[in-house]
Chain A
Amino acid sequence: MQWETVIGLEVHLQLATRSKIFSGSPTTFGAEPNTQASAVDLAMPGMLPVLNEQAVRYAVMFGLGIGAEIGKRSIFDRKNYFYPDLPKGYQISQFQDPIVGRGRFEVQLEDGSTREIGITRAHLEEDAGKSLHEDFHGMSGIDLNRAGTPLLEIVTEPDLRSAAEAVAYLKALHSLVTYLGISDGNMAEGSMRCDINISLRPSGSEAYGTRAEIKNVNSFRFVEKAIRHEVERQADILEDGGTVAQETRLYDADLDETRPMRSKEVANDYRYFPEPDLLPVVIADDYIEAIRESLPELPTDKRHRFMEQYGLSAYDANVLSDTRPLADYFEAVVAGCGDAKIAANWVQVELLGQLNRNELDIEHSPVSADALGGLIVRILDNSISGKIAKQVFEAMWQGEGSADEVIEAKGLKQVSDSGALETMVDEVIANNSAQVEQYLAADEARRKKLVGFFVGQVMKLSKGQANPQMVNELLAKKLV
């Protein structure tokens, strides 16, 4: 039977506030255990939460970014369960009245087509601490540095149909939140963690199958692998006439498999009720409007603009709008050289290639956008060929100066002096009489192929600096 995969994602996004959501403790990653936990984070008796306004602002920014309804009166609830790294015995979260309601989100797939993914809701909550089970001789260590870190939990509709779509969604989400500056999106440090709800149904069926939830997957690659694995597992069960159990599973990256969580790890009745220590969050319209006005251009808008304004392909527009610094860089190159297509090509191929090889991000590129624009100008005005330009770029990358400085220092300027070129052309014709005869004996179609040999010889003689167009013209004139 043909199965259709149905996926919904819950992303826990760490918001980039400086302090925690309900206390003044810093949120810096990687500090010594329990050095960033105040009396509030430790749930000392009598301590009370105070909502961090910046977390609210970031949540509203996200809501506006996906065109969602903003909860004008959102409520915090207590989600009750016992665990040693949950100091209060409850997590402050939002249940009935989240801060962000329904929204939608355009995602570009690998093939350049786009899909609208529905966002069910997004709500604010606090993170728990960390339990450490190694190195404590049969005991567990508790690190509460992370306890109280602000999270935005973003829940999609079951709109995704494959691992590739799920990853495309996550990449687009990552792009959006980093554009907005509301999260560093650093998956390795746990800034974006993902729960995957996944079920199969016979192709063409409307009804959903029974879903399994895979908890806490923290990289794009693992999301893809976990989904592929889980789809296979469920398909095997269904093909054999079995039923999928509704359960929570863990993805084990080492074994590349999902397995059910122990029942102990799954609490079933969280006894949600409104948090009496916090008042409802009432958000005024002018607060929302002020944020709306301060929003940057978002990735989807930028992508569309790149296609329209610069005539880029969907693919190129998607790559170049992926992050704000990259998009800004690209636009600065265009401004410098005036040719968007060549700029797009150079940024994607040469620049991103070098950056990737050197594991650098765009903000640390040794070649500035102005410098790259300057290089492209020299290609456009025929001072150098595309091939020489790569050589110049290499030198610029090594810090040898601007395009003009490198061209000057290395004497790479294209030879367009017709006298000098003529001398070289004559020399090549004189030294290759056999090829000349062959050429002259050939028909028109074959001549077009054979002329390349002479061009190559002239380029060789000129150390690549001859203006190829002029060489072609001269050869056409002389080979008669």
Chain B
Amino acid sequence: MHQISVAQLAKGLRDKQFSSTELTRHFLDRIASLDSRYNSYITVSESAAMAAAEAADRQLAAGDAAALTGIPIAHKDIFCTDGLRTSCGSRMLDNFVPPYDATVIQRFKRDGAVLLGKTNMDEFAMGSSNESSFYGPATNPWDRERVPGGSSGGSAAAVAARLAPAATGTDTGGSIRQPAAFCGITGLKPTYGRVSRLGMIAFASSLDQAGPMARSAQDCALLLNTMAGHDPLDSTSAAVATEDYTAALDNSLEGLRIGLPREYFGEGLDAATGAAVDAALKELTAQGARLVEISLPHSHLTVPAYYVIAPAEASTNLSRFDGVRYGHRCEDPVDLHDLYTRTREEGFGDEVKRRILVGTYALSAGYYDAYYKKAQQVRRLIKQDFLDCFEQVDVIAGPTTPGPAFRLGEKSDDPIAMYLEDVYTLAVNLAGLPGMSVPAGFVRGTPVGLQLIGRHFDESRLLNIAHRYQQVTDWHVQEPPEIAEGAA
């Protein structure tokens, strides 16, 4: 049961090949026996999952099942879950049990999904390797010496290790796409505003976006159908009509214009990764797509602009973690200042502190114009670059990452090297565009991804291209060797 897609599982449940209770039990057992290797879950919600599965089975029997009724799903531990600890990968929230569900969680519940548990992540989604998690890093199921990527590393590892049929993630600068690429799964960051941010713990409000992480484009489309939609309680959520994201999956690619930004294929890109991307593009041209060389001239400003804006927003988003109302509080504070400083000193890890400091600095009097304001101006230029390109092409393609997954510890002492891991993914968030990573082969035994970038609200097109590609390739169905061998 763990080897098939969400689409097939949904059919199996309807055809009574197995029950949701059996399916859920199966995944819970796999998690129990295998996850000590991958550390992909922070919290497993066993009893609630079984209760939800039983309820789903009753609905299935009654014939009033919704799209995802009975399908177990793992959620990144950034989504607040009513009655279930939501840590955001931080000691600060190690004891935090929200009394409410995030809109994303509500929507999965509405559509009948079973919540398996909460997946590991970089602390407050700040990181590209999962190493900043208070709960220790998740590992890459293709090579446990390597990182699964981040910040949604736990979700990527869980799907790759077949410890969940599909999962949710969030992406502020590549946090869905990069771990999807590293773990050989399919991940979609929707257009900013497509999925509600309510109840999703904020990192950088103007960049954060939730999306699906699954084995295939088709499964991502199924999940997006549940996740997408306007939320009146999130002012930045878009009042743009949703569509059935599975409807256009099989559309022809004939005449599709794919833009290749020359800045994404230059220095810094691992040769073998570039070759895998080239091969993937060849498959698309074989289906009638046309490649167009384009330029995103402000690409070199992406990393500096992002690393001003994201920390600036984060520095104030994280002010609420002060030990007053919930979360970690230091022992026996002697006064208010002591309460604040010790609580935050103890509650936050190094990377979070680094970004709070950087962001605070960038917003300070006398520096605001030089940093934050300038970065916002650059952001507009970057967005304009994309809009200009979309005059000539339908979609933009390139590598998701400069290379395959790096080793645990390899970059954890070098923040700049770590930040450069996201060089191809950050701009998509700055521009608010949808972006996707699709498994495109292997480099030295670990997966790499093809990134597709679309126009605002053109998720269907990205899913269509990815799905057509997955009809003629099998990268996305390959399992990590120790999983395939049934080492469990």
Q: Chain A residues in contact with chain B, CB under 8 A?
A: 39, 42-51, 78, 80, 82, 84, 87-90, 140, 142, 269, 271-273, 276-279
Contacts and interface: CB of A to CB of B under 8 A. Distances in A.
Contacts of B368: 271-273
The B interface, classified by DSSP as helix, strand, loop or mixed, is loop
Nearest to A271: B363
B360 A271 contact: yes
B316 interface: yes
A9 to B, nearest CB: 25
A90 B316 contact: yes
B319 A46 contact: no
B86 interface: yes
A46 B322 contact: no
A80 B96 CA distance: 24
A87 B325 CA distance: 8
B198 interface: yes
B232 interface: yes
Contact of B235 (A46, A87, A278): A278
B32 interface: no
Given A46-B197, A276-B204, 4 more contacts: A44-B325, A46-B98, A89-B318, A142-B324
B326 interface: yes
A82 to B, nearest CB: 6
A50 B103 CA distance: 15
Interface string B365-406: 100100010000000000000000000000000000000000
B477 interface: no
B444 interface: no
Chain B interface bracket (under 10, 10 to 19, 20 to 34, 35 or more): 35 or more
B313 A276 contact: yes
B370 to A, nearest CB: 14
B206 A276 contact: yes
Contact of A80 (B205, B322, B363): B363
A277 B88 contact: no
Nearest to A140: B336
Given A82-B322, A271-B364, A49 B316 contact: no
B73 interface: no
B274 interface: no
A187 to B, nearest CB: 30
Contacts of A44: 80, 98-100, 325-326
A43 B320 contact: yes
Contacts of B99: 39, 44
B80 A46 contact: yes
A48 B198 contact: yes
Contact of A89 (B98, B102, B316): B316
Nearest to B336: A84
A46 B202 contact: yes
B319 A277 contact: no
Given A50-B232, A50-B233, A84-B324, A45 B319 contact: no
Interface of B: 79-80, 86, 88, 93, 96, 98-100, 102, 197-202, 204-206, 232-236, 312-313, 316, 318-320, 322, 324-326, 336, 340, 360, 363-365, 368, 372
Given A45-B96, A46-B200, A87 B320 contact: yes
A98 B312 CA distance: 22
Contacts of A277: 202, 205, 235-236
A46 B324 CA distance: 17
B428 to A, nearest CB: 17
Nearest to A89: B319
Given A276-B206, A277-B236, A90 B319 contact: yes
A84 B325 CA distance: 9
Contacts of B200: 46
Given A51-B235, A82-B322, A89-B320, A46 B365 contact: no
Given A46-B202, A80-B363, A88 B235 contact: no
B203 to A, nearest CB: 11
Given A89-B316, A89-B319, A45 B88 contact: yes
Contacts of B232: 50
A269 B80 contact: no
A22 to B, nearest CB: 9
B365 A269 contact: yes
A269 B360 CA distance: 10
A47 B198 contact: yes
25 contacts: A39-B100, A43-B325, A44-B100, A44-B326, A45-B86, A45-B98, A45-B320, A46-B79, A46-B80, A46-B198, A48-B197, A80-B363, A87-B325, A89-B318, A269-B364, A271-B364, A271-B365, A271-B368, A272-B363, A273-B316, A273-B363, A273-B368, A276-B313, A278-B236, A279-B236
Nearest to B199: A46
B235 A50 contact: yes
